[in-house]
Structure 1
Amino acid sequence: MEASFSIINDVPRGLMRISMSGFFEPADITRFVTERNAAFRILKARPNDHLSLVDIRAMDIQASESVTGFQQVLADPHYRSRRIAFVVGRSLAAMQIRRAAKGRDTRYFDEVDEAEAWLFATPPEATLSCRTG
């Protein structure tokens, strides 16, 4: 399946909603990063103060070079989210994002509404019904 993604900003809440599907080649990751960076400028959040909700339920299993590419995307300190919630399926792709996001404050959810609730929960340690990674 061809790589596809969408990025929608919720500016008042400082939230970047990302949906990703398909199989990502290095060129697709580059295209994603370019559009993510442009969306970040529109979000107008202070560095590292925004929230991210990433729905990857429709993402295919990725090649190891793509997992490494996403690992580099997630490690970029200029675009690092304060909190990031992944909505994942029960597949190898879910295991791959855990590897790519290692070392980040992330949580993994089955449903978008659960992920969003965790992102905005006070105090931030609230876990709801998430799967930790």
Structure 2
Amino acid sequence: MSANYSFLVEPERDLVRITMGGLFGPDDIQGFLAARKAAHAKLICPRNAHLTLVDSREMKIQSQDMVTAFQGVLATPEYRSRRLAFVIGRTLARSQLLRALSGRGAYCFETFLEAEAWLFSPADEAPLRVAS
């Protein structure tokens, strides 16, 4: 497959930045899970108190099996973020992401500025503008 992903942890901000692109297969998901575990080990905040910002602008259309696998990735309670924001492009993969996020309480944005503004806003504040 042609999947790529990277994690950048900012422990002082309780922030995990993830960049994802390409087409994922089962082995890529397993590698992603291992990388996520290593990234979360660098956090210093309590479990589930971190923020996550995902750059998914380079994601390709995924197979239904991979969409289902990503739903499972998002549902894993020990890695659940306090807030989860995605920066997405205008691709067909966007609709798959929105389906995978169903019920997760995450938001999608068109810019990093909008995503970070929401991530670091007061806890009960809804985003002013989201991508749809």
TM over 0.5: yes
C-alpha deviation, 1:129, in angstroms: 2.2
> Within 1, Cα distance between the matches of 2:113 and 2:124?
16
Letter in structure 2 aligned against 1:87: V
CA offsets per residue over residues 33-92 of structure 1, 9 Å max, x none? 100011001112211111000010001010111101100000000100110000011222
> Within 1, Cα distance between the matches of 2:6 and 2:124?
26
Corresponding residue for residue 63 of structure 2: 63
C-alpha deviation, 1:3, in angstroms: 0.4
Off by >3 Å, runs of 4+ in structure 1: none
Letter in structure 1 aligned against 2:11: V
RMSD of the alignment, in Å?
1.3
Trace 1:9-88 onto structure 2 (pairs within 5 A). 9-88=9-88
User: How many equivalent pairs are there?
Assistant: 132
- Give the alignment's TM-score, normalised by structure 1: 0.93
Does 1:124 find its partner at 2:124? yes
- Give the alignment's TM-score, normalised by structure 2: 0.94
Does 1:111 find its partner at 2:129? no
SS at 2:34 equivalent: helix
Q: What percentage of aligned pairs have identical amino acids?
A: 48
SS at 1:131 equivalent: coil
Q: Unpaired runs of 5+ in structure 2?
A: none
SS at 1:24 equivalent: coil
CA offsets per residue over residues 79-118 of structure 1, 9 Å max, x none? 0011000001122211111111111111110111210111
Corresponding residue for residue 89 of structure 2: 89
C-alpha deviation, 1:123, in angstroms: 4.5
Letter in structure 2 aligned against 1:104: R
SS at 1:116 equivalent: helix
Q: 36-45 or 73-82: which moved more?
A: 36-45
Letter in structure 2 aligned against 1:77: P
